[in-house]
Amino acid sequence: MRSRTWLFLLLLFLASGAASQEWNYARLVLIYGGNIPFNFNSIKRYADGMEIEDGTILGVTLADSAQPGKTLTGFELSVRAFNGATEILGEANSLDLNMIRIKAEDYLGFGTDFTSEGYQDLSPGFVLLCTYEDTDGGFDDLVWDTHQLSISYECGKPVAAGGNGSLLGEPPDYYQVEVELELVPTGGGF
């Protein structure tokens, strides 16, 4: 009798956990490129800046629970310096955050419903990189291995080349900054 009671309680617990999964969910999966080094080891790189295309690849998982009032239609991806950092810190010096620019592009699976905002300045507050809005009338769940984003980075590009300025004249140092990406589902009920 006692084992039946435990079995009943275990099944009740498992069933309540399964029934409570009524929320839409979103997840980013880092496929590669968690650490992006810019190595300025020549005058040309100091003068012209550097671009690292497809430096990070992210998989996107987004699932619609199909619950009334919680209609999932897509997502927005934004970026900021981690913890609202206001500068790129070196061991003895610092640089303005906007020396680094970041963009997100469709790497796999999003098609024409995807919109990139192009290169955006790194800043203390969130800045929109891209949006995805499923326009065919019914949202299809996204899975990380079939829906991927590429994140590209540039640093020290001259204004004439579309950047925010060359690093010429800046003191050499080992600078680093952490970057935070935020995936926000969109649609009714969010």
pLDDT at 3 over 50: no
The per-residue pLDDT of the chain, averaged, comes to 87
Q: Please give the domain boundaries of the chain with CATH numbers for all domains.
A: 23-186 (2.60.40)
Phi and psi dihedrals of 127, rounded to 5? -125, 130
* pLDDT score at 8: 40
Q: Note the pLDDT tens digit of each residue in 140-182.
A: 889 999 999 999 999 999 999 999 999 999 999 999 999 999 9
SS3 99: helix
Work out the average pLDDT over 8-25.
45
End-to-end CA distance of the chain: 47
Predicted TM-score of the model (pTM): 0.85
What distance in Å separates the CA atoms of residue 69 and residue 173, rounded to the nearest whole number?
52
Q: Note the pLDDT tens digit of each residue in 108-148.
A: 999 999 999 999 999 999 999 999 998 887 678 899 999 99
pLDDT at 12 over 60: no
pLDDT at 9 over 80: no
Nearest in space to 150 (alpha carbons), one of 86, 70, 77: 77
